[in-house]
């Protein structure tokens, strides 16, 4: 399959962003190396440390094997010569990688028979010239091409560029004059551009304007110019694609909005109450890997405890269904699933009754055996999620998270202020240092003026923060908090200076139907995406790199790709009496499964895609928001970022913004 087979959400069967990525890797790259009269059926796949991550996010080993790959190798490790086999190189176009490739394939005894070389991003002419100069290698190259696929598909509608140190390198204390600044932006732009190469999309590129462009009294800093510079770099790559990639659109087909972490400093810190977010926030997971203990019976009849690992990913239907559900909702639905499963499954019923009676009849055993194939796997998955949800609910009680979460959201919506925060810190002595830190960081984002100079030191002393934690609070200023109060209608009006009467940084959103307690909070990208879709984003605050005319952003009719069926404003956030109950059969529209289950055919009738890229890390609440808005706006929304951060990781990165010669491993919360 070629790229054109999956280039549009408007034609053919709908495929998610991650599926398109997978198809390109498996079919356009690996399958294209199959030659009918080839003596070698099986091939070796060689990748570097970046491309192996790209592959692992989108494909499983079984997928690669089915396409004729018998061995996967690391480019940088010493490899055994296999002169009768062909090799597929999927590598970055770096000088070091090209040197290793030439070393593999040159001379009288090359490591492989033929080489199919696929570069993950555009290759420099000098490197192509270097390959062509080696006359012994040239006849052994069966293919040499640019895949233009150098992003990491973390979700069906999300990707990262894998810049874990973006906050430090682009917004940190020593960013002025740092050589890492331009290097980070350039690589980020390259990887963002390759997402559009994969989807064959050519976007209108919009970005958050620098404060200095809105207020001449503001001093321009490199931090403030990050979205501007990144947008320009992405545009340069996309302009080249128009002439270098066959079939690449010559006119705009979608929209891209580039912002940074300054638009919403609260989303990465506040407690998010969905199943997915709480798993990653509270359970010390390693990526998507969850480690748990099970009791197994030994040969001598005794019981011992063993550790098991499980991946909480899209292949698990229960995870896919519940990941965006509120933890209380997820717990109820899991209880229902377990009850229904026991009622309907013969093996489960007999297993339950045998506990009461003590023995199983021969007939009972026969029924158990017949029901076992489904019973074991389903019971294990259900039991696992019941255990996880139970563990989270226990931690919510033990850590007093409901009270903390209530204060967090009251601060955000302006229903609580300094008095309530001080009272909480004085009366709740058992709150963990991390949760006190997160409360103060939220307060600092809302009231940056109260942390100028030494003003915030008394609050931090009251909270008994360590010097390391104080550093995290103080480093919030690098994300623009201290400047926002000066703006009265500029680029940051969405963030701090609206609704000053309540001192809130979010406006209440009226919802239809009930909602769960502590679900008022919503990430700012919800408002930005909705305004972008309606054509209501102010052009001076969010200019367009390739704006075709002065009327482009004036109205929703001014852009041909606007979706025709606009819907009444509707949000999943509301001001409701606190409740942990809700109609159980309601579809909150949050899960990607919910969207795709109802809309596989509808995607063909959707408006053009919207891409939003957040420099400095994105959150699970923002990833959830794009799934929800895809269903609401009838436009597929794809979220990109430099990294996907849970609160502990984000706080660690904040600390590093002023740290000297430290690594991520050196700092703990």
Q: Kindly report, residue by residue over 36-45, the tens digit of the pLDDT.
A: 666 568 999 9
> For residue 653, what pLDDT is reported?
95
Report DSSP letters for 450-477, one per residue. Answer: GGSTTTTHHHHHHTT--HHHHHHHHGGG
How far, in whole angstroms, is CA 8 from its chain's centroid?
A: 22
> For residue 37, what pLDDT is reported?
62
Beta bridge partners of 44: 71, 87
> For residue 296, what pLDDT is reported?
78
Burial class (CB within 10 angstroms; exposed 0-12, middle 13-18, buried 19+) of 486: middle
How far, in whole angstroms, is CA 41 from its chain's centroid?
A: 37
Tens of pLDDT, residues 153-186 = 999 999 999 999 999 999 998 888 788 999 999 9
Tens of pLDDT, residues 563-581 = 333 333 333 333 333 333 3
Does residue 2 register a pLDDT over 70? no
Percent of the chain with pLDDT over 70: 78
Does residue 411 register a pLDDT over 80? yes
Percent of the chain with pLDDT over 90: 62
Structure tokens at 226: 């990050």
Does residue 309 register a pLDDT over 70? yes
> For residue 549, what pLDDT is reported?
41
Q: Cβ of 651: how many Cβ atoms within 10 Å?
A: 25
> For residue 622, what pLDDT is reported?
97
> For residue 354, what pLDDT is reported?
56
- % helix / strand / coil in the chain, to the nearest 5? 45, 15, 40
Tens of pLDDT, residues 450-473 = 887 777 888 999 999 999 999 999
Place of tokens 């992003």: 151
> For residue 658, what pLDDT is reported?
84
Select the more confidently predicted residue: 75 or 379: 75
Q: Note if the pTM is more than 0.95.
A: no
Tens of pLDDT, residues 142-162 = 999 999 999 999 999 999 999
| CA–CA dist 157, 154 (Å, integer) | 8
Average pLDDT over every residue of 298-304: 79
Q: What is the CA radius of gyration of the chain?
A: 27
Does residue 559 register a pLDDT over 60? no
The 8 Å CB, 24+ separation contacts for 277-282 are 277/619, 277/620, 277/621, 277/624, 277/646, 278/327, 278/392, 278/396, 279/312, 279/388, 279/392, 280/620, 280/646, 281/646, 281/647, 281/648, 282/392, 282/395
Tens of pLDDT, residues 310-348 = 999 888 999 999 999 999 999 999 999 888 887 776 655
Q: Are the CB atoms for 370 and 346 separated by under 8 Å? A: yes
> For residue 483, what pLDDT is reported?
40
Mean pLDDT of all residues belonging to the chain: 82
Tens of pLDDT, residues 86-135 = 999 999 999 999 999 999 999 899 999 999 999 999 999 999 999 999 99
Among 427, 454, 461, 428, which Cα is nearest to 440's? 461
Report in angstroms the alpha-carbon separations of 276 from 16, 270, 271, 592, 614: 20, 14, 12, 12, 20
> For residue 408, what pLDDT is reported?
95
**Structure confidence at residue 497 as a pLDDT band (50, 70, 90):** very low
């Amino acid at each position: 399959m070629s790229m054109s087979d999956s280039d549009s959400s408007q034609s053919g069967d709908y495929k998610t962003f991650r599926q398109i990525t997978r198809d390109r890797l498996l079919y356009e790259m690996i399958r294209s190396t199959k030659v009918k009269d080839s003596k070698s059926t099986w091939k070796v796949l060689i990748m570097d440390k970046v491309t192996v991550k790209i592959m692992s996010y989108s494909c499983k080993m079984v997928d690669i094997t089915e396409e004729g790959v018998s061995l996967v190798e690391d480019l940088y490790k010493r490899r055994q010569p296999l002169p009768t086999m062909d090799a597929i190189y999927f590598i970055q176009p770096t000088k070091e990688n090209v040197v290793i490739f030439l070393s593999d394939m040159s001379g009288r005894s090359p490591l492989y028979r033929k080489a199919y070389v696929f570069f993950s991003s555009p290759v420099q002419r000098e490197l192509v010239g270097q390959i062509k100069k080696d006359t012994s290698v040239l006849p052994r190259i069966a293919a040499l091409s640019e895949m233009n696929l150098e992003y990491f598909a973390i979700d069906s509608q999300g990707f990262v560029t894998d810049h874990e140190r973006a906050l430090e390198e682009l917004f940190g204390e020593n960013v002025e004059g740092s050589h890492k600044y331009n290097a980070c932006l350039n690589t980020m732009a390259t990887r963002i551009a390759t997402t559009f190469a994969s989807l064959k999309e050519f976007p209108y590129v919009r970005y958050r304007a620098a404060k200095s462009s809105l207020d001449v009294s503001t001093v321009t800093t490199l931090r403030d110019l990050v979205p501007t510079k990144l947008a320009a770099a992405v545009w340069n790559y996309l302009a080249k694609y128009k002439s270098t990639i066959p079939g690449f659109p010559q006119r705009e087909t979608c929209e891209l909005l580039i912002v940074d972490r300054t638009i919403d400093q609260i989303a990465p810190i506040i407690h998010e109450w969905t199943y997915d977010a709480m798993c990653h926030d509270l359970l010390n997971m390693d990526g998507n890997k969850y480690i748990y203990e099970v009791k197994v019976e030994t040969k001598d009849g005794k019981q011992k405890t063993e550790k098991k690992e499980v991946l909480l990913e899209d292949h698990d239907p229960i995870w896919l269904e519940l990941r965006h559900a509120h933890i209380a909702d997820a717990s109820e639905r899991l209880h229902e699933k377990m009850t229904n499963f026991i009622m309907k499954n013969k093996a489960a019923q007999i297993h339950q009754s045998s506990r009461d009676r003590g023995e199983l009849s021969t007939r009972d055993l026969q029924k158990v055996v017949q029901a076992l194939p489904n019973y074991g796997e389903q019971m294990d998955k259900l039991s696992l999620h019941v255990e996880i949800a139970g563990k989270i609910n226990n931690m919510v009680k033990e850590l007093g998270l409901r009270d903390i979460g209530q204060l967090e959201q009251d601060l955000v919506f302006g229903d609580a202020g300094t008095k309530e925060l001080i009272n909480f810190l004085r009366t709740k002595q058992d709150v963990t240092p991390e949760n006190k830190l997160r409360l103060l960081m939220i307060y600092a984002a809302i009231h940056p003026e109260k942390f100028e100079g030494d003003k915030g030191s008394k609050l931090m002393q009251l909270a008994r923060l360590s010097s390391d934690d104080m550093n995290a609070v103080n480093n919030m200023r690098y994300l623009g908090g201290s400047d926002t109060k000066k703006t009265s209608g500029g680029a940051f009006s969405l963030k701090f200076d609206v609704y000053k009467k309540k001192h809130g940084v979010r406006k209440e959103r009226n919802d239809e139907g009930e909602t769960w307690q502590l679900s008022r909070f919503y990430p700012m990208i919800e408002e930005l995406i909705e305004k972008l879709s309606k054509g209501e984003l102010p052009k001076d605050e969010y200019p367009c790199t390739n704006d075709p005319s002065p009327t482009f952003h004036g109205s929703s009719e001014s852009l041909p790709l606007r979706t025709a069926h606009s819907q009444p404003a509707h949000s999943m956030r509301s001001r409701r009496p606190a409740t942990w109950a809700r109609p159980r059969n309601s579809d909150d529209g949050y899960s990607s499964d919910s969207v795709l289950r109802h809309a596989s055919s509808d995607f063909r009738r959707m408006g053009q895609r919207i891409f939003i890229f957040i420099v400095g890390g994105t959150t699970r609440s923002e990833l959830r928001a794009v799934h929800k808005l895809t269903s609401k706006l009838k436009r597929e929304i794809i979220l990109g970022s430099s990294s996907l951060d849970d609160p502990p990781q984000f706080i660690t990165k904040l600390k590093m913004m002023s740290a000297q010669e430290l690594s991520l491993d050196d700092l703990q919360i």
